[in-house]
A and B are shown apart, each in its own frame.
Chain A
Amino acid sequence: MVLPAGINLTLVPRLTSFARTVDLRTLDLSPTDGFVLSRVDGVASGEVIVRTTGLDDEDVRESLASLVHHRLVEMPAIPNMSVRSAGSIMPHDLHTRTPGPKVSVIPASLDSSVKASISGSYAQVAVDRPSTRPRAGGSNAPPPPSQPFGQQQQPANPLNPSTFSGLGGRSPSAPPVRYNTPTTVAQAHVPPSQIPPPPRSSPMMSGAAQSPPSRPPPSGPVQVQQPGYVSPGAAATMAAASGSPPAEQQPYQSLDGIDLEPDFRTRIDELFSSMDTLDYYTLLRVDRSGDRKLIKRAYYELASHFHPDKYFRKNLGQYKAKMEAIFGRFTIAHDTLTSKVDRAEYDAYLGIRESVREQETRLSSAQEEIRRAEEEVQRAAQQSVAVSVNPPAEIRTAPGPASPNRPHIPTSPSRTFDAQAAREALARKLLGGAGAGRPSSTGMASVGARVSTVPGAPSAPPSAPGAGAPGTMNPRDAVDALKRRYEERIVDSRSAQVQKYKANAEALLAKGDWAAALNSLRVALSFDPDNAELNALTVNTQKQADEILSVNYEKQARYEEKAENWREAARSWAKVARARPNEAIAHERAANAILRSGGNMREASELAKRAVAIEPQNAGHRATLAAVYIGGGMMLNAKREIDAALQLSPTHPAVLHVARRLKEVG
């Protein structure tokens, strides 16, 4: 019998093997004894049990004494150990848990085979101990066994269902069970594929060991294939290709302390300044037809270079914000293009944006085309002269002032070459410098008057009858004749152009290409401004083109509105409003977009007022106008509008919203 006073609480009580085999219910124990027994695990000292049970020292002593008496627990005798205790569960053995043969909260009769398996696995673990790992302390201990997924742990104490074993080494009474080399155990859970080769055999490691820590420059096929992007890792890629690992590269040392290579900085700067204007496909460097997977790959590739984490806690200076902005842009592009719905909308938007741009360029190019057509007329007239009279070489060598009229010498088109023209040309040639004193402006005047001074019948012979020989011709008459001739040719050519452009326009109209047709008509009209038919056709086409363009503007505006790109939306809606001066909604939307984008409030109020003027009964328009007034600080006007709107529709959500805002603001 052990007296309670004989129990030393600084010692660690251990379970006996008897405790593992006996049916506890046959013994005379109290619930407190049961509780204390459940805490005995070969690790916790009597003091720890006192602390963790919340019982008094005396209670624990008494219970332990009772348990010792029942041969369930033994207290170690220090310094003299009994041999028997060698077989008891040492703190160390706690790490040799193996799955028990029987799973129950209390294996009431744990047979000796378990005990055997415990010590057996202990031996095994000891044998399997990994070779020493170099470490500061130089200490090694057996690792705990691995506990694969799903495997249950067998606690050392069958009464203790918790999975607790080791107390902190810092606890004064806890035995120091420390494991410093559980590497192999931890790795036991790593699939073999994840275990890298030993460091010594890894070229990566040895490379790193030779050079100070440096970022191996990222590299990838995109950079190599697409010279448009300067890859920060291009050099590394090449180095890798030529057999030397990137890690052996000299680390980049910058003068300003920013840890980025110059090439990559250039790339960041370029992208940062251009990214807002690039469409998403160009930005991600993928084909318009590229599938989801391709887009994702491109994005991941770019992200792996541009995500600021790539340079975590490195000095990036101004480049950090730039990289974040670029990455953000990539993300928006990726998110849009990888969503079926968003991509379809974006594609449609891109299509519209491009066709609108094309049409706008084309319409703005009407003047250019007119100029081109006029040049064509002139060239045709000149050519016919050149062909009939002058070898090209002569024209080229002739001094300008000596033959001021030459560029304007009328000739018939080569197709309608006639003898008379040839004769006249000859006469002029013979006369030589006769026209030298004539001011050079003559020819210019004739050109300047080309539209108004339409000469009479083109067939009117310029020379006197019977004038067969060149010598008989009055030089002045000859010149006049030539001039008239030239003007005739111009007129011919012009009317041909009118016909040509009109026919062209009609063909384009039939195809539905309104913008191009309109351009053609404008050219035709420039040659024949008084042509009533042409005027009517042009006005009509203009209307059609405007309508089509405005439909596209509207689509564009709606997309921009949805993307909350209010500045763009304001511009697009304003265009719609211009094209449809009588459509209230276009004006209202334009005003709203300006308001939201923080644009010109005066413009917004004009548009909103127009919307209200067109549809005075629409409460929504009035609400927008009121909101614009609030934005412009015109509270009285806002109040007037919102009152009117409330009268029209007291439950309109937009009206109520603005009314509430007005109240808050005012």
Chain B
Amino acid sequence: MERVIGIDLGTTNSCVAIVENGAPAVIPNRGGYKTTPSMVAVTEAGKRLVGHIAKRQAITNAENTVYAAKRLIGRKWNSPQVKNAVATSSYRIVEGPHTDVRIALRDKEYSVPEISAMVLQEMKIIAEDYLGQPVSKAVVTVPAYFNDNQRQATKDAGEIAGLDVIRIINEPTAAALSYGFGKNVEKTIAVYDFGGGTFDISILEIGAHGVFKVIATAGDTFLGGEDIDARIIDWLVQGFKEEHSLDLRQDRMALQRLKDAAEKAKCELSSVRETEVNLPFIISSGRNEALHLQRTLSRQTLEELSADLIERTVDICRQTLEDAKLEKDEIEEVVLVGGMTRMPRIQSAVAGFFEREPNKGVHPDEVVALGAAIQGAALTDDKQEMILLDVTPHALGIMTFGSVFEELIPQNTTVPTHRQKIFTTSRDNQTAVKIIVMQGENEDASANELLGEFILTGLRRAPKGTVEIEVTFEINADGIVSVRAKDLDTGLEQSIQVTASSGLTRDEIKDMIDASKDDLVDRRVSEDFEAAKQEAEKIVAEIERLFPQVEQIVASSDFGRDAIEKARAIVDKARAAIAKKDTAAVKEQLDGLTRTHRMFKGVVAKT
């Protein structure tokens, strides 16, 4: 059976997981890290960088480094969020051919799904390296409030990355799956998810028979840990300015270091009361004398800097609880998700609002990917007894005359579901009607998101209002919306499956998939090399493991020193060969590695 990976495609970091032998596990990347920055960059040489390496050069190559692409995915060029991003982003955001959003990196324009695809592809490769086999299916998570266009765009990104995204699920829902997986509990829980770029809250019920039911869900797109980092940077910059009358923001090297330091200080203040931000040689003064930044940031100061942001999350919690028609005391568990929930002030704010100590039993950075992996296994593995009953995050309906939005399926409706309503013609002798499918909560249709449209033709010629058309909305378990219009007179029927527009046409997606395939070929190394590399690495690891022991044993003898030096050289040579992706050179080193390994084993065994 083919394995399905779970990917948490985050605003700032992404994570990939899989269910192995019935237990979900996160797959670390080559650096051993369980999360990978969701950043993509193109270097001057035209080389594409993804993940940590892209993050590290972010500020020095700011205009060609994309971060937080998730905030743009599936959005229209003219949306306020995009306008805002255009004003604040360091990379160039331009209008695409279908009023969609494109990102210009060096001399090429990329669609947002293409950018996200690069991150997804990275996650795919991490999983493939780990599993030693190709992976083609994935469950990808999105913020709960994502609309269909954003979800579709995420799916397209998966497709471009060569992944069949078998299901898109909400991040807090995934967290709940991970929390409740294998626990035989019946509980109503709240999942408070404060991540790098977004805030989400969901209320769910975990029931008997492995059923998870979402009750209500809400969130804020532009509220995350990055906002708190920005507050710290402001504070550092301000302090430095007061002391030296120099604006660190003018220096991109300084800014990169500030950003790194702010994030680190924030993380540290979760476990200590105060931390020192120490950045020697941060900038040169006017008299060409090096200046150092050294400041102590206390937890209390950080809390003051971020108080209003935290308060905003509590307000959203209050609203969601109302939507769910639940009282605080009906929430039996509060689960914290997202790196920001490590912050003590946030924990106490959540505890204060829900009047209960939050559960910290899940790993805030990994739980979402784990949940996605669990859902992937539940769908494809018959042995998994788990069913997720998800809801529609937004209302669905059609636009009627005068731009009035007629809601057919309300917000927070459990899927699969179907609803129908009867409409009528608006002109005399009207032989065709246009059904415009929309999503949103606004009565004014134009304020909602357009999902698709189709035309029902062949209506009987009759005075307006006499021909009746029954419109049926259906959302299946896969979250696919179908809309059917039926002429009640003649029984003629017309329907569409609403494939939300991600801003890309099918042809474009196809081209991108092809382009990405080329890219994939470019990025993946030959299997021959892979095999040699794995073997060499295995032996290197063995040698490394024995090094300390061998060193200790032979420390006194000259012979020993010699041997150790030799061994080191062989290991370094092997590593250099691997780094150069030189298959032949790696193979050359294998002999020496095996010999060294044998010798080391002998030395250890003797004593």
- Measured CB to CB, the residues of A under 8 A from B are 24-25, 29-35, 38-39, 43-45, 48, 51-55, 76, 78-81, 83, 85-86, 90-92, 94-95, 103-106, 108, 119, 122-123, 126-127, 129, 135-144, 147, 149-152, 160-180, 182-183, 185-187, 189-191, 193-196, 198-199, 202, 204-205, 208, 213-216, 218, 220, 247, 293, 296-297, 299-301, 303-304, 307-310, 312-313, 320, 324-325, 327-328, 331, 335, 339, 596-598, 601, 630-635, 660-661, 664-666
Contacts and interface: CB of A to CB of B under 8 A. Distances in A.
Contacts of A661: 401-402
Nearest to B268: A103
Q: Among the interface residues A123, A173, A190, which one has the most CB atoms of the partner chain B within 10 A? A: A190
Contacts of B17: 186
Interface stretch (B82-90, B464-472, B496-504): B464-472
A30 B253 CA distance: 12
A485 B551 CA distance: 133
A81 B402 contact: no
A416 B364 CA distance: 95
A194 B1 contact: no
B564 A86 contact: yes
Interface residues of B, number: 144
A205 B382 CA distance: 11
A144 B345 CA distance: 30
Contacts of B33: 144, 163, 165-166
Interface string B416-451: 111000101011100000000000000000000000
A468 to B, nearest CB: 85
Contacts of A135: 131-132
B57 A54 contact: yes
A537 to B, nearest CB: 46
A300 B207 contact: yes
B545 to A, nearest CB: 4
A35 B253 contact: yes
B569 interface: yes
Contacts of A76: 572
Given A104-B278, A136-B133, A633-B465, A304 B210 contact: yes
B591 interface: no
Contacts of A171: 53
Contacts of B50: 168
A190 B17 CA distance: 12
A183 B25 contact: yes
B349 to A, nearest CB: 17
Contact of B30 (A119, A169, A216): A169
B388 interface: yes
Interface string B153-195: 0000000000000100000000000000111001000000000
Closest 9 CB pairs of A and B: A166-B31, A34-B281, A633-B463, A54-B60, A186-B25, A144-B32, A139-B534, A136-B132, A52-B57
B281 A308 contact: no
B464 A81 contact: no
Interface in B190-232: 205, 207-211, 213
A216 B264 contact: no
Given A161-B264, A196-B23, 17 more contacts: A31-B251, A31-B290, A51-B53, A80-B569, A86-B547, A126-B545, A126-B546, A147-B34, A164-B55, A165-B31, A166-B29, A168-B50, A176-B30, A178-B537, A204-B383, A216-B383, A312-B379
Contacts of B263: 161-162
B28 A178 contact: no
A142 B541 contact: yes
Given A33-B281, A81-B569, A162-B55, A324 B27 contact: no
Nearest to B531: A137
A141 B50 CA distance: 24
Contacts of B97: none
Contacts of B537: 139, 141, 176, 178
B464 A665 contact: yes
Contact of A178 (B129, B364, B366, B470): B129
A630 B546 CA distance: 89
Contacts of A182: 25, 27-28, 32, 130
Given A30-B290, A168-B51, A303 B281 contact: no
Nearest to B523: A170
B209 A304 contact: yes
A48 B578 contact: no
B57 A164 contact: no
Contact of B579 (A108, A176, A191, A325): A176
B56 interface: yes
7 contacts: A35-B257, A52-B61, A119-B548, A136-B132, A163-B264, A165-B52, A178-B534
Contacts of B528: none
Contacts of B411: none
Contacts of A140: 538, 541
Contacts of A174: 53, 579
Given A126-B544, A176-B575, A304 B279 contact: no
B283 interface: yes
B477 interface: yes
Contacts of B465: 630-633, 665
Nearest to B126: A168
B525 interface: yes
A180 B117 CA distance: 23
Contact of B182 (A106, A180, A193): A193
B409 to A, nearest CB: 11
Contacts of A297: 186, 207-208
Interface in B115-162: 122, 129-133
B224 to A, nearest CB: 17
Nearest to A663: B402
Contacts of B364: 149
Interface in B555-607: 561, 564-565, 568-569, 572-573, 575-576, 578-581
B530 interface: yes
Contact of A144 (B28, B49, B211): B28
Nearest to A341: B325
Contact of A247 (B131, B383, B541): B383
B506 to A, nearest CB: 22
B491 interface: no
A215 B418 contact: no
Interface string B52-67: 1101110011000000
A31 B281 contact: yes
B276 A79 contact: no
Contacts of B264: 105, 161-163
B332 interface: no
Contacts of A216: 382-383
Interface in B224-269: 251-254, 256-257, 260-261, 263-265, 267-268
A308 B416 contact: yes
B355 interface: no
B572 to A, nearest CB: 6
Contact of B418 (A328, A597, A635): A328
B311 interface: no
B568 A166 contact: no
A283 to B, nearest CB: 15
Contacts of A53: 57, 60, 253
Nearest to B206: A300
A596 B421 CA distance: 9
Contact of A104 (B55, B275, B581): B275
A309 B388 contact: yes
B78 interface: no
A225 to B, nearest CB: 15
A166 B280 contact: no
Contacts of A31: 251, 253-254, 281-284, 290
B271 A150 contact: yes
B292 interface: yes
A149 B335 CA distance: 14
Contact of A165 (B32, B34, B213, B531): B32
A92 to B, nearest CB: 6
A387 B131 CA distance: 97
